[in-house]
Amino acid sequence: MIELHCEHFKVIVPHDYVLLSRVLSCRLWAFEPTTSTSTSWLMTYSSIEKQTPPFSSIGLATSSDGHHWTKAGKVLTRGAPGSWDEGGVGRRHVVLIENEYVMFYEGVDGKGVHGIGLATSSDGTQWKKDADGPIFTARVGEDAWDNGTVAAPHVVQTLDGSFRMYYVGSNDSKSESAIGMAVSEGRNFRSWIRF
């Protein structure tokens, strides 16, 4: 698995690969497919669609060596008008859970409110959004530090099989933001409790 970020990043790869910090775009995520017959690396990235208004989508790139990448196209885009992610999808984190790729991604609605959604894939190239909408939302209307936005998910599995999600949250005036943590209800990565 490789995770790349634009600034101060740590790269974990098998072999002696050297990777540049700005291969395609900021906030990249790359992984080696689990099938033994595949020789490709897969990487997700965000891109801005130049429409009015502009919105972001998630693309895929492939590489046979981890150095040279070819864009394979869009794999996840904004939802239909009126949906929780109609304003676009962007920052994401992909985790392999029981032989299935799970993408925790940031979506934004038509009013600019960000939430965290889920998409799954058996091969890392074809993704399907969860039909139930976001799995984690801002505490709108509550007196809480993250009552305006939740975004930028990063999920790790713990030794007992449960998950922790680290995210960026902000208040409703967007004047303050911080990093929060939520824990899954057991192994259910669709249900979260703030810590």
How far apart, in Å, are the Cα atoms of 1 and each of 128, 130, 140? Answer: 22, 24, 35
pLDDT at 14 over 60: no
The pTM of the full predicted model, rounded to 2 decimals, is 0.80
At 32 the pLDDT is: 54
Mapping DSSP onto H, E and C, the string for the chain reads: CEEECCCCCCCCCCCCCCCCCCCCCCCEEEECCCCCCCCCEEEEEEEEECCCCCEEEEEEEEECCCCCCEEEEEEECCCCCCCCCCCEEEEEEEEEECCEEEEEEEEECCCCCEEEEEEEECCCCCCEECCCCCCECCCCCCCCCCCCEEEEEEEEECCCCCEEEEEEEECCCCCCEEEEEEEEECCEEEEEEEC
178-190 pLDDT, tens digit per residue, is 999 999 999 999 9
CB atoms within 10 A of CB 29: 20
Which residues partner with 155 through β-bridges?
Answer: 165
Rounded Cα distance between 192 and 61, Å, is: 31
pLDDT-based confidence at residue 31 (cuts at 50, 70, 90): low
pLDDT at 135 over 80: yes
Domain ranges in the chain are 2-194
Q: What is the CATH code for 2-194?
A: 2.115.10.20
Here the tokens at position 25 are 């775009």
